[in-house]
Structures are given as structure tokens and as C-alpha cells.
Amino acid sequence: MDAHNDIKGVLLDLDGVFYVGERAIEGGQASLQWLREHAIPFRFITNTTTRSPASLLEKLEKFGLHAKASDVFTAVSATVSYLENAGANSVHLLVRDEVKPAFKAFKQSDSPDFVVIGDIGARWHYDELNQVFNMLMEGATLLTMHKNKYWQGENGLLMDIGAFVAALEYVSGQEAIVVGKPNGAFFSLACQSMGLANHDVAIIGDDIESDIGGGRTAGLRSALVKTGKYRARTLAETKVRPDWVIDSIADIHTLFSI
């Protein structure tokens, strides 16, 4: 590899990079240790919306990935910040119960300013979608934590929330605001927290669109890992080109000429 020794920091995706479900990916813990030993700053940046930011920290701890709240950028906290900055008053939440307390500053309403979409697992139902459709037709704004197509579960690929967001966009004629990856502002915020410019940072992820595509559009360098949802066919078929492809997070040191 060449011309990569000027990376000053990294953003690390979590799901599919450090673990799949409850199974750790080999080398994750050692790689973090290596980054710390070489004083290379890093942040975790995740579209995971199945857990509150606090419960995500507990999960990381379980995998030996010690992190402070300020080390982790989640689509959930970015969505709360977005609503605060937008002066939102009321919301309708299509999110897991566990995640709802993060939105306690906003009134829950059936005629909301914003409809907020997160991962609700297998709870998607016509009635719920139709209720949201009517809210959108009455003027609510569609805000989604991300629009990922699918993710890697322990027993295969799982449809993510993107298809449901696309359905709501289709019927309402409204384009959703996507807060998490690939939104450039989300990447920039994480880079700024390290005191680094976007072009000095590389994103490491398993999602060719949200991680690699989003990161590149935001001016970051990028490394795709061959774990999690990675499939050779998906990489062959997309126009998105990562700067580097590495077997797994265990190879992160190869991005640096240290």
C-alpha cells in the first residue's frame, strides 16, 4: 500500500467490524490496543439504533472495547441533536422502547413536527406505516436515523430500515432527512471531535454505501473490511471505490507506515 502514512486518525464502524450479533470478530480488541499504543486517535461511528447510547457502551465493554461516551458517535444521539437544532417541538417515534428515553425532551404527538424512524426489528406493520403515511400527508417531516439496506445477523443478512423508509418516501412524495451515515455532517462531527480535518481521517467499515461511500463524499479516506455484510459481489457491482480493502479490523495497522 502507498501514500497512506499521512492518516492521522480513524473512524471505526462497529457492527460487522468488531462484532456480528453477539460474536466478536477476531483482532478487534488488539487493534484498539495498537491504536492506543501508537497514540492514533479514533472514534466509533455507528448507525446502530437498536440500543440507547448508554446500553451500546455496555455492549462494547462486554467485548473488551473500553470506550467513553464521547468516543462514540451514534445515529441516535445525532438524531436528538438534529431535532434540538431544528427547534422540534413534537415527534412521533418509530423506534425501540429502549431508545425512546433519548427523546424525552420532545412531546410525543399524533400530529407531530417530525416522524422519527429507527430500527424496530420485526415490528413493522401495515397499520403503523399507514399511520405515519397520514402524518406525513398532514405536514410532518420524515426524519430517519439512517437508510441502510441490510446488515449481517448471526444467521445471515437481515433487511434494515431503508426499505421501509423508501416505502414512506414513495407514498408521501417526501424525501427523508437521513441523519446517520452516509450524512457528511455526521462524519465531520466525529472528525472535529478529534481535532482533525476530514481528509486526515480514514473510515473503517463493512458497508460500501453508508461507510465507504458516505465517508468518501465527506472527504475522508476509507478502508472496507471483508467481515460483516461484506460480499465480493456487492463490491464488484458498485461504483464506490474504497481506498483500501483489508481482510478484517485485525489488519488496521497495515494502513499506517509505522
Strands 177-178 and 141-144: parallel
Strands 23-24, 19-20: pairing is antiparallel
- In angstroms, rounded to a whole number, what is the distance separating the alpha carbons of residues 187 and 231? 24
C-alpha cell at 121: 426489528
In one-letter notation, the amino acid at residue 158 is L
Instruction: Give how many residues touch Mg ion by CB under 5 A.
Output: 4
Select 197 or 235, whichever has its Cβ closest to Mg ion.
235
Considering the complex, what minimum distance in angstroms separates the CB of residue 210 from Mg ion?
A: 8
Structural element, H or E, at residue 12: strand 9-12
In the chain, the amino acid numbered 24 is A
Q: Among residues 169 and 209, whose Cβ is nearest to Mg ion?
A: 209
Residues 191-210 that bind Mg ion (CB under 5 A): 206
Residues of span 39-68 touching Mg ion by CB under 5 A: none
Residue type, 1: M
Of 204 and 255, which has the nearer Cβ to Mg ion?
204
Query: Judged by CB, which is closer to Mg ion: 142, or 225?
Result: 225
- Tell me if 88 sits within 8 A of 106, measured CB to CB: yes
Question: CA-CA distance, 30 to 43, in Å (whole number)?
Answer: 16
Question: Among residue numbers 7 through 26, which ones bind Mg ion (CB under 5 A)?
Answer: 13, 15-16
**What is the three-class DSSP state of 177?**
strand
Q: What angle do CA 162, 163, 169 make, to 5 degrees?
A: 90
Instruction: Pick the closer one to Mg ion by CB: 24 or 197.
Output: 24
Cβ closer to Mg ion: 124 or 150? 150
* Residue 119 contacts Mg ion per CB under 5 A: no
Q: CA-CA distance, 225 to 137, in Å (whole number)? A: 41
Q: How distant, in Å, are the alpha carbons of 30, 52, 54, 56, 170 from that of 98?
A: 31, 6, 10, 11, 29
- Residue of closest CB approach to Mg ion: 16
Q: Closest approach of Cβ 255 to Mg ion, in Å?
A: 18
**C-alpha cell at position 204:** 473503517
State the nearest-atom distance from the C-beta of 131 to Mg ion, in Å.
30
User: Phi and psi for 93 in degrees, rounded to 5?
Assistant: -100, 120
Q: Please say which residue, 119 or 206, places its beta carbon nearer to Mg ion.
A: 206
Q: Contact residues for Mg ion (CB under 5 A)?
A: 13, 15-16, 206
